[in-house]
Chain A
Amino acid sequence: MVALLKELRKEVTIVLVEHDMEAVFALADRITVLVYGRVIASDVPDAIRRHEEVKRAYLGEQHVVVSHG
């Protein structure tokens, strides 16, 4: 699916709703993050990955803490 979307994006403009985070971060030019109907962040993937509020709300801050021992 990622390979297909990479091809299609050459021809079409795409808004993507996808739960596979790896796919989202691999594909999107920008990511808009919603929490209870409000946008808490809208930025390029690298910035979203580092965004504190996004980490708390979505990416799972605990996992980040655990991975750092």
Chain B
Amino acid sequence: MADTAPLLEVDGIETCYGLSQVLFGMSLSIRVGEMVALMGRNGMGKTTTIRSIMGMTSARAGSIRFGGQEVRSLPSYRIAKLGIGLVPEGRQIFPNLTVYENLVAASGNRAGNADPWSIEKIHALFPRLAERGTNMGVTLSGGEQQMLAIGRALMTNPNC
């Protein structure tokens, strides 16, 4: 946490959906261990900022650096592998996988974190997910889905 260089640095990005431009020079910087909130009414660009960072809707200008590496034009899976976990809007649980399968499908410790998140640690954090391990994603309540979405992101062991 003594590291003060930004972990994620969004610098002047411009993002469009077709002809409709949504972000106009959006910038954001976050250092290791920080929590930064994006605030704004509906339609102001919060979701688009997240989509741009994750490469789901790539920014057409500006720069997005993660751990010093430019990721603006990378596909989502490459960005995710670099160590950005996403707890998506609407949770996006895989409905046809079990709770356990949702957790392990994209799990890994690609950044080589010491004491990485494991299925045991997730079950300790969310005992409900252990109880429902063999249930299909589609059967979960909203609260359980949110736990699973958070657990699934942690299981990728984000680079932080």
Name A residues whose Cβ lies closer than 8 Å to a Cβ of B. Answer: 1, 4-5, 8-9, 11-18, 21, 24, 27-39, 42, 48, 54, 57-58
Contact = CB atoms under 8 A, between A and B. Distances in A.
Contact of A33 (B30, B35, B40, B47): B40
Nearest to A24: B37
B33 A15 contact: no
B97 interface: no
Interface of B: 7-8, 15, 21-28, 30-41, 43-50, 53, 85, 89, 125, 146, 150, 154, 158, 160
Contacts of B15: 37
Contact of B35 (A1, A5, A35, A39): A5
Contacts of A24: 37, 39
Interface of A is mostly: mixed
B3 to A, nearest CB: 11
Contact of A35 (B8, B44, B85, B158): B44
Given A13-B30, A15-B50, A42-B28, A36 B44 contact: yes
Contacts of B89: 17
Nearest 4 CB-CB pairings of A with B: A34-B40, A28-B37, A13-B160, A34-B44
Nearest to B28: A32
20 contacts: A9-B33, A9-B35, A12-B85, A12-B154, A12-B160, A13-B32, A13-B34, A15-B35, A15-B53, A16-B35, A27-B35, A29-B35, A30-B37, A32-B28, A33-B40, A34-B38, A34-B46, A39-B28, A58-B40, A58-B41
Interface centre among B26, B33, B40, B85 (most CB of A within 10 A): B40
B39 A31 contact: yes
Nearest to A33: B39
B44 A37 contact: yes
